[in-house]
Amino acid sequence: MEAEFSVESGVGNEHEINSPQMAHSGRRCSGVPTPFKLPASTRCMTIIPELRWKIFQLVHGTPADSMGNKTLLALALTCKSFSGPALDLLWQNLEGFELLIRCLPQSLWKWEGRKLVFGRIMTFDDWSVFCKYNHRVRSFRPYCYLTVAGTEIWRALSCPPFPLPLLPNLTSLTWESWDAAANTNEVFQYIGLFVTPKLTRLSIVTRAFGPSEHSVLSFISMLCPSVSHFSFHSFAESEDTSTALQCWSHLTSVTTRRVSEAAILHLFKVPSLRVLKFYLPPTPMSVDTKKLLQRSMLCELQELTIVCSSLMLVDVFLEDLFIAPKLISFTTFGGMDSARALPALISRVSNTCAHNSLEQIQLHITDPPTDHKTSIRLAVFKPLSAFRNLRKLDFEANHHYVVRWDDSALLQMAKAWPLLEELHLNKYGHSSHGVTPNAFVSLLQHCPRLVSVAIIMNWSTIDGQDIPPEIPYQGFAHKTLSRAFFGSPRIRHPIRIAAFISAVAPGVGSIFSWNRKSRHHPNFEKYDIRWKAVQDLVKSLSTVREQGRRLMLIAGEGIDDRGIEGSHSHIGIAHSVQESESGDAVVGGGGEVYEDSGNESVCNMVRPPPAHNRYTKR
């Protein structure tokens, strides 16, 4: 590592070039070649610095980073005109300060176990070597300094023979001090060695955040007025960053925890803000604050993420706002009875957000666990049908929340979201109120871009009948669906379920069912094995179907697409979903529960075609 970065001292004069002959003999060409002796490409790289820098950037951005660094190192050793740009790229992003320390003379530092420590006092010559590289660093993340660089090193670096900061051209700083074994209060103070007026990105992760840390952060906000991206995470209770936030007027992205009403007002008046993630205060905002929020200037806001203790607080907060983000996310923790506040919040979202802009909605509820189930009707989400450009809907709640699925509500939402890519409604939950196969296929037909879906289905009509010889749903097959979450349904015939899925969604490669939350069920292992068999069979059957299509194309004939109706009533009226005495889902009233008939052969899928098929004899 030392040799990789300590190369500047070995670089020759500005126009010194190595010829192949001199490189082979180990000698360096001492003469300055005339321009006409150089290749045209070399002359262009020497004369046009922008072209040289662009080429070096492409080398640095190769997929194999280590290979790109080795190439840059070789370029830095070629000539002085290459050395500067190559070293700039090598040192552009510094991960861990020990890399820079290890480029200093080896008599200065040593290892003590896993700690890197100084063995003597730094001299002026040591600082001279340090200054060959420090001005090249643009991004610094000392993520491992607590376990590698000892605290005494930070004390030694606090008194350089030149004005601070240590990295004068730094524009991005990520400071992590979460090691419980270290004195985080002392370590956090050293962040001041690196803050510069040029800093535009600041990310802080700290375990402790007391009054001294508050003072340091406020000091940073005054020294770094150009910060546009700010991220803060802390495990402490008093983690308010309001004072610092109010000093920055060019913010474009903010991720923080608790903030004051004054800071919220300031953020909502920053016209450049595009991403805002914060913790809503646990008490309702004052009337004056709400009036001032009506004058918000968030014309560029693209993402809004709010964490709070109650959905009611979010509802009140959004009451007088009108915004046009592409993504909104609400997360509650420790609240009570969120199901009662959910309908009002969803209606509020449809009134607060511009209908043509919102593309992603995330709702995560983490209420204290209870012994009883809480039902959430699918119709609660119907107001979100106003967002015609919706791509992703993700609703996740505790295991005791149960979504009551409904065919008509699902169909209405599917028709409203032709661009939908992900539909996750409690993807790891379960409900005895599932939709019919008809509703599932209708969802796929109206949402051709759907990639991932979490849905509870009533599989009894598929599981209770043999695989039909006819093509279901007039040969419809969804091409983009690749992941499916089906809850915890009890099935008996994996081959029948797999035949249906492979017909309507042949691209499904991942099926999630009977997750860890269902391990308490007495028959968990049995049903888990069956659903794993479904996933394996879907892949195999989809491959067989594709082979059949190709075979018919090779034969020069088209596929018979007259649309014969399947024998499981795939096309028809949706039946109501009920639960039998044994707990199995059945369609219609008084449905008969069938017993497990054992394994079926995959050969059932290769039934002889109907008599009218002209390829029966072939």
DSSP codes of every residue in 455-467: --B--HHHHTSPP
Q: What are 49's two structure tokens?
A: 């610095």
Q: What are 132's two structure tokens?
A: 């060959």
Name, in order, each residue with C-beta under 8 angstroms of 568's C-beta and a sequence gap of 6 or more.
437, 461, 462, 465, 468, 472, 500
How many Å apart are CA 471 and CA 397, to the nearest integer?
Answer: 38
Domain ranges, residue 532: 413-618
- The residues with which 253 forms a beta bridge, in sequence order, are 229, 275
Name, in order, each residue with C-beta under 8 angstroms of 61's C-beta and a sequence gap of 6 or more.
68
How many Å apart are CA 122 and CA 552, to the nearest integer?
Answer: 79
Mean pLDDT of the chain: 79
pLDDT tens for 493-514 read 999 999 999 999 999 999 998 8
If you average pLDDT over residues 215-220, what whole number do you get? 89
In a domain, 152, yes or no: no
CA distances from 76 to 32, 282, 364 (A): 18, 56, 51
Half-sphere exposure (Cβ direction) of 581: Cα atoms closer than 13 Å: 3
- At 18, is the pLDDT very low, low, confident or very high (cuts 50, 70, 90)? very low
In a domain, 361, yes or no: no
- At 601, is the pLDDT very low, low, confident or very high (cuts 50, 70, 90)? very low
How many Å apart are CA 109 and CA 129, to the nearest integer?
Answer: 14
- The yes-or-no verdict on residue 350 having pLDDT over 90 is yes
| Closest by CA position to 428, among listed 451, 400, 450 | 400
Last residue of a domain, one of 66, 90, 114: 90
* Farthest CA pair distance, the chain: 99
- The yes-or-no verdict on residue 564 having pLDDT over 80 is no
The pLDDT value given to residue 88: 87
Q: What are 174's two structure tokens?
A: 């990520």
- At 150, is the pLDDT very low, low, confident or very high (cuts 50, 70, 90)? low
**Amino acid letter for position 64:** A
Tokens 């969120």: give the residue: 338
In a domain, 239, yes or no: no
Last residue of a domain, one of 90, 119, 142: 90
Lowest mean pLDDT among 109-118, 160-169, 351-360: 109-118
- The yes-or-no verdict on residue 432 having pLDDT over 80 is no
In a domain, 376, yes or no: no
pLDDT tens for 73-115 read 887 788 877 888 888 888 999 988 888 888 999 999 988 877 8
In a domain, 267, yes or no: no
How many Å apart are CA 192 and CA 220, to the nearest integer?
Answer: 7
- The yes-or-no verdict on residue 610 having pLDDT over 70 is no
Return the higher-pLDDT residue of 343 and 66.
343
How many Å apart are CA 259 and CA 257, to the nearest integer?
Answer: 6
What's the DSSP call for residue 294?
Answer: T
How many Å apart are CA 514 and CA 529, to the nearest integer?
Answer: 9
In a domain, 311, yes or no: no
Strand ranges inside 334-428, DSSP E: 360-366, 374-377, 392-396, 401-404, 422-425
pLDDT tens for 19-57 read 333 333 344 444 444 444 667 666 666 667 777 777 777
Q: Percentage of the chain surpassing pLDDT 90?
A: 42
Asked, as a colleague might, if the bond just before 168 is cis with ω within 30 of 0, I would say no
- The yes-or-no verdict on residue 413 having pLDDT over 70 is yes
- The residues with which 363 forms a beta bridge, in sequence order, are 330, 395
The pLDDT value given to residue 129: 93
- The yes-or-no verdict on residue 357 having pLDDT over 80 is yes
- The yes-or-no verdict on residue 205 having pLDDT over 80 is yes
Last residue of a domain, one of 72, 90, 108: 90
The pLDDT value given to residue 237: 67
Between CA 123 and CA 227, with CA 93 as vertex, the angle to 5 degrees is: 100
| Closest by CA position to 12, among listed 78, 89, 88, 84 | 78
- At 184, is the pLDDT very low, low, confident or very high (cuts 50, 70, 90)? low
Return the higher-pLDDT residue of 53 and 291.
291
How many Å apart are CA 120 and CA 111, to the nearest integer?
Answer: 13
The pLDDT value given to residue 589: 37
- The yes-or-no verdict on residue 566 having pLDDT over 70 is no
Name the domain count of the chain: 2
Return the higher-pLDDT residue of 507 and 12.
507
In a domain, 572, yes or no: yes
In a domain, 293, yes or no: no
The pLDDT value given to residue 95: 86
Return the higher-pLDDT residue of 557 and 476.
476
The pLDDT value given to residue 148: 59
Return the higher-pLDDT residue of 67 and 306.
306
- The yes-or-no verdict on residue 328 having pLDDT over 50 is yes
